[in-house]
Chains A and B, each alone.
Chain A
Amino acid sequence: MRSNRMGWALLAPTLAILAVVGFLPFLYVLYVGLFDWNPFSNQLGMQWAAVNNYRRLVFDGAFLDSLWRTGLFAFVSVSLELSLGFLLAQTLVKNFPGRTVFRTLYVLPLVMAPIAVGATWRLLTIPGFGPVPYFLDKWFGIDYRLGTFADQAFLTVVLMDVWHWTPFVTLTLLAGLTAMPKEPLEQAQVDGANRWQVFRYLTIPMMMPVLLTVIFIRLMDALRVVDEVFMLTSGGPGTATQFIGIHIYRAVVPKTDYGYGSAMSLLVLYFTIVLCWLLFIALAQVGKQRE
């Protein structure tokens, strides 16, 4: 039989890089999370705290609030992206005049840096020179101020994420739809199934692996969003858009609360992994059923 040695050899560079720039820092964060360490506190240096940081987290209202907000944000934006993306992908399967132009223009946000996305949306929404507050006020009489109204800020951040990432979802789903075998669908139509039935009983099940993959990827990234939100609202008003990534950033960077911040990141990382593991299992399950 073939020896495994060459397999490992091919895998080795990948594992080595990930170990050094991925796993090593993880170990360090794990270590720091067991200490009380703020260089600007009255006790200099690291003080052994065992699991005290984790115990504090459970009672930290601001942290739990932020977790809840992040979950809500991820759920709402990923659902919107998925529904809109599916709809758009379906319209793109068949060729029609102008399809390539539409598709090309439509994926533009995909190449933008998150920080540039945040800056762009900030330019759009600053009262006084952005068009959004101006026209909302002129046409609908809506007083739109991101810095004042928490609901508007949250909604805008969700819309920004949808704007930025629906193109990616659309393209991935389109790739899936394009690769899907055509015969069962045509057969079903011959058999007199209506569109909804075809969609519900054929398209969705066949697309399940792709859907789960997209959910997995988008969820993973939505849960750690920082750059664009920070640029747009800095987490405000108050803490209305302070998602967990920003919350941790504030704890670790301006507050230099290294120990507590590390513990916080690990807990969040753990939650994310568990969530994604469940999706991964579901994905594997669907794959097995297929075979």
Chain B
Amino acid sequence: MFKHKLTVMLGILVLFSMVLSGCAAAVPAAQPAAPAAEGEASWWKTASQSASCEGVTIRGISESTPPSNFARETLAPAFQAETGITVELETTSWDEMYNKAINDMQAGTGIYDFVYIEQDIIYQYLANNYLVNLTQLLADNPNLASPDFDFAKFTSFIDNFKDADGNIYGVPMEAFVKIYLYRLDLFNDPAIQEAFAAEYGYDLAPATTHQQYQDNATFFTQYGADNGLELWGTTVQGNTGHASSFYEFFESIAPTFGVYNWGINSENWKATVENGGGMNSDAAKEALAFWVGLLQYAPPEATQSTWDEVAASFAAGRAAQGWVYGENAAWIATDPDRSKVVGNVGVALPPVSEGVMEAAADGSGYIGYYDGGSFGLPVSSKNQQCTLLWLEYIGQESVQADWAVAGSRIVMESTYDDPKVQEVDAKTDNYYTLMKSEGPLFRGAPPFPFHSALREVVQPFIWKALSGELTAADALDQAAAAADAELVNLGYGQ
């Protein structure tokens, strides 16, 4: 009796899996986007054959983002149709991606033929010789150098992926700036403008100073409360258990107060003021106090918000202004399926302290975070030539515009002029134009080979400042001391 039941159940399970596999097989694979032109044998085909890559499968890993998904769903099938090389791109969460890529490259197993390299991690990878020198590889294989591919076509963002000699280690696939977003409908409402001017004695506008930002935040929080709206004055990427809050503070907030490179002195690798660093300088403390203070004007989910939730809160219309990663600007401003503030998104440069804008203009400082990533080729890859073809394929000018529309990322100068991109630009209050003209004011993470190890040591203090367990000043004093100790431990600045 009993055994019988068990057999039946197992049978059902097996049947279930068989039906599912049947379904899986019945669904046709995504159609290749651009079949090769009839007649002439395409350059890609010839090159693929010459390196005997036809039938080869290459595998990559990336974060599950719109740009990566576009590469997986559109570019990879098109590339396969042209070359006969199958591309398997694994897209997963940010933490998992690093873990797996590093495990693979560290052990030299060669599972991945290309990996996503975020701008801030490249120095770690270079210090460990994880990556293939693409400049060299192209020079060594002239028959594989596509006429449609040229490193010179990329924006200056590609400089982030160069070593000291100018050799390139990654083909940029996404780039954006962390931008100041505000609600056009609120800021342009005459009644609101009047009320604001009456209360503060000056006109309501996107903030250019921190005081003004705070006034705006205070005003709109009060406005939301008075009118029974689910509206607050600002977003804060203040998750008290996730690296995203560390990044918002050190890469977006602190620079606007003139604290650069996480407050670490790159001459002697020290963070504390007494050792010549700046992590616990007065400016840094002022910045942290300002930012933590914004929590009272932020929606209650702020202390649980990573970059994902900040964008979601803003898109839900719960904040009047905020620092938001630019990759989200396009969908927040244009996609009615996901956003309630379509057409009402304004874009501007973030507020800064006195002198910071000038420092950014002359190159000695910066006002925010220029982020992005590339695909690089691990030394451990067993299919380097075939992967090189793939990297060139995604680095063609012709694929950039659609990719930009799908993922609000731009890595080439020419993409800015594409009609498709300009159409989106018009709908996003000229985000792309701003990125093009003001991009140089922003900068990526400092070239630290110990990036994630140090972040892990410092971030608990930021979290404790956000949750109110520590004051801003204490948090940074302790963080700087811990950073100094960890840097020594890692072999820097003995």
Binding site for B on A (CB under 8 A): 38-44, 62, 126-128, 133, 143, 145-150, 233-242, 250-251, 253-257
Instruction: Give chain A nearest CB distance to B472 CB in angstroms.
Output: 14
B75 CB → nearest A CB, Å: 29
User: Is B301 in contact with A126, judged by CB distance below 8 angstroms?
Assistant: yes
Give the total number of A-B pairs whose CB atoms are below 8 A apart: 121
Contact of A237 among B106, B451, B466, B489 (CB under 8 A): B466
Chain B positions 73-106 with a Cβ under 8 Å from a chain A Cβ: 95, 98-99, 102, 106
Residues of A within 8 A of B303 (CB): 145-148, 236-237
- CB pair B102 A128 closer than 8 Å: no
Measured in the bound complex, the distance between the Cα atoms of B490 and A44 in whole Å is: 10
B355 at the interface (CB under 8 A from A): no
Q: Is the CB of A39 within 8 A of B241?
A: no
The verdict on B230 contacting chain A, using a C-beta distance below 8 Å, is: yes
Please indicate the chain B residues that have their CB under 8 angstroms from the CB of A43 in the complex: 491
* Binary contact track B433-454/A, C-beta < 8 Å → 1, others 0: 0000000000000000111110
- A residues less than 8 Å from B468 (CB atoms): 148
Residues of B within 8 A of A (CB): 95, 98-99, 102, 106, 124, 127-128, 230, 238-243, 295, 299-305, 309, 313, 316, 318, 449-453, 455-457, 460, 463-464, 466-469, 489-492
Docked pose: A242 CA to B456 CA in angstroms? 13
Known: A147-B240, A253-B95. 6 other contacts (CB 8 A): A40-B450, A128-B230, A145-B301, A236-B242, A238-B240, A238-B464
Q: How far is the CB of A15 from chain B (nearest CB, A)?
A: 27
B478 CB to nearest chain A CB (Å): 11
**B469 and chain A: residue at smallest CB distance:** A238
Inter-subunit contact A40/B243 (CB<8 Å): no
Q: Which of A40, A145, A251 contacts B124 (CB 8 A)?
A: A40
Contact present for A40 and B449 (CB under 8 Å): yes
Supposing A127-B304, A128-B299, A255-B456 touch, asked if A42 and B490 sit within 8 A by C-beta, the answer is: yes
Q: Give bound CA distance, A126 to B451, whole Å.
A: 30
CA distance A147 to B295 in the complex (A): 11
- B453–A234 contact, CB under 8 A? no
B52 → chain A, closest Cβ, in Å? 34
Asked if A128 and B313 sit within 8 Å, CB to CB, the answer is yes
Could you tell me the distance between the alpha carbons of A128 and B238 in the complex, rounded to whole angstroms? 15
A256 lies within 8 A of B463 (CB) = no
Shortest Cβ distance from A43 into B: residue: B491
Tell me the bound Cα distance from A256 to B467 in angstroms: 27
**Among A39, A43, A233, residue most surrounded by chain B Cβ atoms (within 10 Å):** A39
A133 contacts which chain B residues (CB < 8 A)?
A: 300
> How distant is B100 from chain A, measured CB to nearest CB, in Å?
10
Contacts known (A127-B300, A128-B301, A147-B303); A254 close to B243, Cβ less than 8 A = yes
